[in-house]
A and B are shown apart, each in its own frame.
Chain A
Amino acid sequence: LAKTTQPISMDSYEGQEVNITCSHNNIATNDYITWYQQFPSQGPRFIIQGYKTKVTNEVASLFIPADRKSSTLSLPRVSLSDTAVYYCLGGYQKVTFGTGTKLQVIP
């Protein structure tokens, strides 16, 4: 299973683009990278998934370089409601979410 490493916390002002990078050096050939968001007192919520290059949906973009040893979740123009913990997962079994990155959006 791919072990992931993310920054513990990040701060950003409202309206800015936020990039959260996750490293997954031992990701397997057939592993996808998945990102989840968790608000306080709620269960995690799926944001986006990718295998390589770039994936975009209505919420975020996910950039994965050719070597796939890292990925970057990009949140465009964050608002206060984007304050949450963001988890990066490698592999498909969703075995462990790690500690995630706590994003604090500042007015």
Chain B
Amino acid sequence: DTAVSQTPKYLVTQMGNDKSIKCEQNLGHDTMYWYKQDSKKFLKIMFSYNNKELIINETVPNRFSPKSPDKAHLNLHINSLELGDSAVYFCASSQVLGDAEAFFGQGTRLTVV
């Protein structure tokens, strides 16, 4: 049973489209995150949610909108996709906010053409 699962694993789409990436964790954790890893492998946080509340919102275009319907899910919706959005997006969770150990999903490789 996968602890943090995200779908899809690969996503290829055209510029201007809207797409969503889903994330679910079955660990009972309170906190969930979205990270973006670019082509240079630099991994940076985008959002974090604690008990469905937005805690961290880094400098991310407002075309990116996270949604947390419940503690176990944190989805990422992206509007009007641009070439620069191509990256690997990782979802993660930790037991509580500030917990050092976070569990990551396998990643979603988004390619915008």
Interface residues of A (CB under 8 A from B): 32, 34, 38, 41-46, 49, 85, 87, 92-100
Within 8 A of A (CB), among B54-113: 56, 58, 90, 92, 94, 98-107
Q: Which residues of B contact A34 (CB under 8 A)?
A: 100-101
Report which of A41, A45, A92, A99 forms a contact with B104, defined as CB distance below 8 A: A45
CB pair A93–B92 under 8 Å, yes or no, is: no
Pairwise interchain contact B43-A97, C-beta atoms closer than 8 A: yes
Interface residues on B, range: 20 to 34
Interface of B toward A, CB cutoff 8 Å: 4, 33, 35, 40-45, 48, 56, 58, 90, 92, 94, 98-107
Q: Is the CB–CB distance between A99 and B41 below 8 Å?
A: yes
Contacting residue for A43 out of B48, B98, B100, B105, CB 8 A: B105
With most chain B CB atoms within 10 A of its CB, the pick from A43, A45, A46, A93 is A43
Decide yes or no: A96 and B107 within 8 Å by CB, A34-B100, A49-B101 being known contacts.
no
Contact B45 A95 (CB under 8 A): yes
Q: Which one of B33, B40, B58, B102 has the highest number of Cβ atoms from chain A below 10 Å of its Cβ? A: B102
Chain A residues near B90 (CB, 8 Å)? 43-44
Q: Tell me if B33 and A99 are in contact (CB < 8 A).
A: no
Query: Which residues from chain B contact A41 at a C-beta distance below 8 Å?
Result: 106-107
Instruction: Tell me the nearest residue of chain A to B91, going by C-beta.
Output: A43
Task: Please measure, in the bound complex, the distance between the C-alpha atom of A104 and the C-alpha atom of B109, giving whole angstroms.
Answer: 24
Quick one: closest A residue to B105, CB to CB? A43
CB distance from B56 to the nearest CB of A (A): 7
Given contact pairs A41-B107, A93-B56, A95-B56, A46 touches B42 in the complex (Cβ within 8 A): no
Q: Could you tell me if A97 and B44 are in contact, using CB atoms closer than 8 angstroms?
A: yes
Inter-chain contacts of B45 with A (CB < 8 A): 93-96
> Least Cβ distance of B19 to chain A in Å?
20
A96 touches B44 (CB 8 A): yes
Distance between B48 CB and nearest chain A CB, rounded to angstroms: 8
